[in-house]
Structure 1
Amino acid sequence: MIFLIVIVVLISTLDLGTAGRDWVTTEEFENYITPEDMREFIKWCQRNDALETNEIGGGGDVNYAVFDETTALPVPDTVDCFGLGLLTRALPLDMQPGTSDDVNTHFYFSSRRNPARVQVFPGSQFGLEWVDFKPERKTVMIVHGFMSHSNASWVLDMTRAFLEWHDVNVIVVDWSRGGNTWKYWRAVANTRRVGSDITGFMKQLMAATGARVKDFHFVGHSLGAHIASYVSYHIGKVARITGLDPAQPCFQTSNRVERLDDTDADFVDVIHTNGRLLHRIGFGLPDPIGHADFYPNGGMQQPGCKQNNSSLWQRLLPVARLQQAICNHGRSYLLFTESLINSNCSFRAHQWNLTYEGVNASLIAACRRFSSCSVMGINAVGDARETRANGAYFVLTTERNPYCPTEAERRHPTPDLLKDLRRGFRIDRSAKDIPTPTPAYADPDVQEIPTTTAKNWFWRLVSNLG
């Protein structure tokens, strides 16, 4: 845990760059916690004889809070973020969701006619006199993630993009008081409170205006994706949820109520941009969880996010790798926003079997109507020209805005991308035996493909630094 604190201090004091920028904001520092950090924290507590029961108390079944006038759903009194069961209650970690007053979830409305955002309050203060909300329009709700807020540049850009794209109602949710903490597990716990408060607000909105649940499209980044799924599940299944690199830490669970999955809306599309295992610092879920799952450049690492000039000292420290993960994680919302505003850029998506060997085959396959291709982004749901996406897709993008490759680039992945993918599949997905790729792959490191013979710990360490 001390390790995690050091990470947060470094990320806030060092001048770290992301693609196209020379700095990293807290809005991009999303969802970092590892099992190693958790074990180190427990050991530290034991050494100092500081392990004691928190205010929640002893074991037994989870009790649920009593409803009040601002709470639409019961909220658990503690959240098992690390899968430790009853041990969760014995840890000196506050895993209790905050109150509605503590989290202070905000709701901001905007439209084409009234693009300036106006706050609408839930409960007895609820009123739409100052906003241009029309129930006959489609309604988009945007939910940010960990250590972010409603004034984040990507939230403002996406709001403007939606209003430019179509005449819709846009609701932006701000739960920054519940998520702006280095204690990631506290933010996860607070997602339950946020989900409850949003559910109550949306029910109040529908009752007051006659808005229909099937006219809602929820868009959530990271933890926001899981919040959106929770709300949709409890208000009756909205028309669409777009998950932008849904958070991985604390959500690798079989409990489908707690995380985004394809039962949460009529159409669930997911953009995976940082789906690595935790020991490789991956903020996003790597597994397909929606009706359509898009993997830009394989879904692990994005062009322009890799630091090629890092010193050996920087590579040994986790800061550079954390910086890359932040950049990769945030690319999901940039790509989706681009799909809203750029009609000249189509993120062509090729059906993919989620293997390294299948990348080349998916890209060279002919795109036949109602067959192997779709588009990533706002039009993934399908229209008169495009079939609705279904399954897993590989998408090639570039490192800079507008991120749209040329026709030649769409057909031939770069050697660097293939090298990163091969290494990613080897390490992150525990592949012990990777067949030799065909010459069409143009893989620059064919001779380095590992055999089934396990490497010793030193060589595994060296490989992980690459």
Structure 2
Amino acid sequence: MMDSSSSCTALLVAEPGSLVILVDYWDLVTISRPYMMANTRQIANTTAQFIDLLVEERGVRLSKIHVIGFSLGGRISGLVGDRVKSGTLGRITGLDASYPWLPPKTKDEFLDASDAALVVTLRTSTIGSYSPPGHIDFHANGGHIQPGCSTWYLPKTAEQVCSHYRAVWIMVEAVRHGNSAFPACRCDSRESFVHHSCTCETVNHFGLSPNTSAHGNFQFSTNAAPPYSQPLEHKK
């Protein structure tokens, strides 16, 4: 449920022997708002049924399944985790999970920590700011405007869209470079991180293999253009 085929290619290279399945639901969520909501649930139901089929008939271990969703796909990923009947999903990564035009009415419509054994979120814009916390929450540049997205000739909405899509490219870079990319400091706010108020004794890396025992909010800064990853310079 990621936005770009580049993401799938990066995953295949990083995890040889793995099975990467791309769920393409574009035509189902670009019709109208009422159809979008109904189709969002149907996409989640069908994907959950497919996962149950893999587990029950192909012997796939549910703990090894990692669902990744960008934007509305982050919301759908949470619905998938809620609807799987064969157990608990191993992991969900929500890339700036958002709820455009369709604010959730019930708790199960949010992506949250109850949807998988490990729920990791990445926040890059205010479009994705309504999602509840997961087990590990990464905030790139505070989860607001991303470097390179704020210019005098772009309207505010374009800045947010640019920042929103940055989540995909951060994920692609993280997958390609493994645990050497995107070191992040455990810190509750961007302000505390920038002013060195956090000790950064606990560091985690955004990507496929974060430290699963280090939960909480993690802050990191990025460059305005690739490579986006920056070293964590002010760890104490």
TM-score band by shorter chain is: 0.7 to 0.9
Match of 2:120 among 269, 275, 283: 269
Shift of 1:287: 5.2
Question: 1:362–1:394: 8 Å Cα contact kept in structure 2?
Answer: no
- Distance in 1, Cα, partners of 2:163 & 2:204: 23
Tell me the alpha carbon deviations over residues 112-146 of structure 1, each in whole angstroms, 9 at most, x when there is no partner.
xxxxxxxxxxxxxxxxxxxxxxxxxxxxxxx14xx
Question: 1:272–1:284: 8 Å Cα contact kept in structure 2?
Answer: yes
The 4+ residue runs of structure 1 with deviation greater than 4 A are: 250-254
1:332 aligns with 2:164: no
- Distance in 1, Cα, partners of 2:142 & 2:215: 17
Q: Which has the higher contact order (CA 8 A, sep 6+)?
A: 2
- Where structure 2 has 5 or more consecutive residues not aligned to the other structure, the ranges are none
1:169 aligns with 2:4: no
- Distance in 2, Cα, partners of 1:248 & 1:223: 6
Match of 1:244 among 95, 100, 120: 95
Question: Residues 352 and 176 of structure 1: is their aligned pair in 2 closer, same or farther, counting only changes over 3 Å?
Answer: same
Shift of 1:406: 4.6
Matching of residues 11-410 of structure 1 within 5 Å? 143-144=1-2, 154-167=3-16, 168-181=18-31, 183-235=32-84, 236-249=87-100, 252-253=103-104, 255-275=106-126, 283-286=127-130, 288-308=132-152, 310=153, 320-343=155-178, 345-354=180-189, 356-357=191-192, 359-362=194-197, 365=199, 367-368=200-201, 372-380=202-210, 382=211, 388-406=213-231, 410=233
Question: Residues 358 and 373 of structure 1: is their aligned pair in 2 closer, same or farther, counting only changes over 3 Å?
Answer: same
Question: Residues 189 and 321 of structure 1: is their aligned pair in 2 closer, same or farther, counting only changes over 3 Å?
Answer: farther
Equivalent residue, structure 2, for 1:148: none
TM-score normalized with structure 2 length: 0.88
State the structure with more CA Rg: 1
Question: 1:243–1:269: 8 Å Cα contact kept in structure 2?
Answer: yes
Tell me the amino acid that sits aligned with residue 199 of structure 1. Answer: A
Question: Residues 284 and 359 of structure 1: is their aligned pair in 2 closer, same or farther, counting only changes over 3 Å?
Answer: same
RMSD between aligned residues? 2.4
Shift of 1:343: 4.3
Report percent identity of matched pairs.
28
Shift of 1:256: 2.4
Tell me the amino acid that sits aligned with residue 196 of structure 2. Answer: A
Question: 2:44–2:83: 8 Å Cα contact kept in structure 1?
Answer: no
Tell me the amino acid that sits aligned with residue 246 of structure 1. Answer: A
SS in 2 for 1:392: strand
SS in 1 for 2:63: helix
Tell me the amino acid that sits aligned with residue 98 of structure 2. Answer: A
Tell me the alpha carbon deviations over residues 165-220 of structure 1, each in whole angstroms, 9 at most, x when there is no partner.
11211111111220233x34532331011111112222223232111211100000
- Distance in 2, Cα, partners of 1:352 & 1:288: 17
Aligned residues: 232
SS in 1 for 2:114: coil
- Distance in 2, Cα, partners of 1:292 & 1:344: 15
TM-score normalized with structure 1 length: 0.46
Question: 2:91–2:118: 8 Å Cα contact kept in structure 1?
Answer: yes
Question: Residues 390 and 321 of structure 1: is their aligned pair in 2 closer, same or farther, counting only changes over 3 Å?
Answer: same
